[in-house]
Amino acid sequence: LRFDWQLSKLHLGSLIREGAKWCFPAAVVQALENQNRIARQLDGGLLLDAANDLVIQRKRLNQLEQQLDYVTSQTRCVPPQNEQSFVNSLSLIEELNRRLNVDNQFAINSTEINSKYMGNLAIAADKLKAHQDLTLSVTGHADSS
């Protein structure tokens, strides 16, 4: 089992070097957590649990490899050039998401945009002026009640 764990660990390392960390960051974090859990299971003598988790880990890594192969055949997964700019962009995206994903975009029984939401759109547009690399698409519909 320890040998299988080492192979799984090497497979994950290879996928990370190929760009999985940047294409599928959540899958990589989960895989790393699973690797650590399997190591603890092996150290604790929980061999059946480790064997089961290794089967699951191998399946997930094979799936991640297929996804990565497909994505990298279409594009490259690379870290951002300027990490601080990347962090700033993520922060702005989170702020805009909180500001614009509200349930009162339209006035009741109207196709007119709610004045409060219009203000939020204006603020979002103003903030996006400083981030030419970001685009925002807003879609919605008005219900008739």
Q: What is the pLDDT of residue 61?
A: 97
Residue of higher predicted confidence among 132 and 56: 56
Confidence of residue 144 (pLDDT cuts 50, 70, 90): low
pLDDT > 70? residue 143: no
Amino acid found at 99: R
Q: What is the pLDDT of residue 87?
A: 79
Q: What is the pLDDT of residue 103?
A: 66
Q: Please work out, in degrees rounded to the nearest 5, the angle formed at the alpha carbon of residue 108 by the alpha carbons of 105 and 110.
A: 85
How far apart, in whole angstroms, are the C-alpha atoms of residue 67 and residue 118?
A: 40
Please answer whether residues 142 and 106 qualify as being in contact, where contact means their C-beta atoms are separated by less than 8 angstroms: yes
Confidence of residue 102 (pLDDT cuts 50, 70, 90): confident
* Both tokens assigned to 21: 């960390």
Please answer whether residues 31 and 57 qualify as being in contact, where contact means their C-beta atoms are separated by less than 8 angstroms: yes
pTM: 0.58
pLDDT > 90? residue 93: no
Which 8-state DSSP code applies to residue 114?
P
Residue of higher predicted confidence among 31 and 99: 31
**Mean residue pLDDT across the chain:** 87
Length of the chain: 145
* Both tokens assigned to 96: 């805009």
* Both tokens assigned to 16: 């990370």
Q: What is the pLDDT of residue 60?
A: 97
How far apart, in whole angstroms, are the C-alpha atoms of residue 15 and residue 20?
A: 6
pLDDT > 70? residue 99: yes
How confident is the model over 58-71, as pLDDT tens digits? 999 999 999 999 99
Helix, strand or coil for residue 145? coil
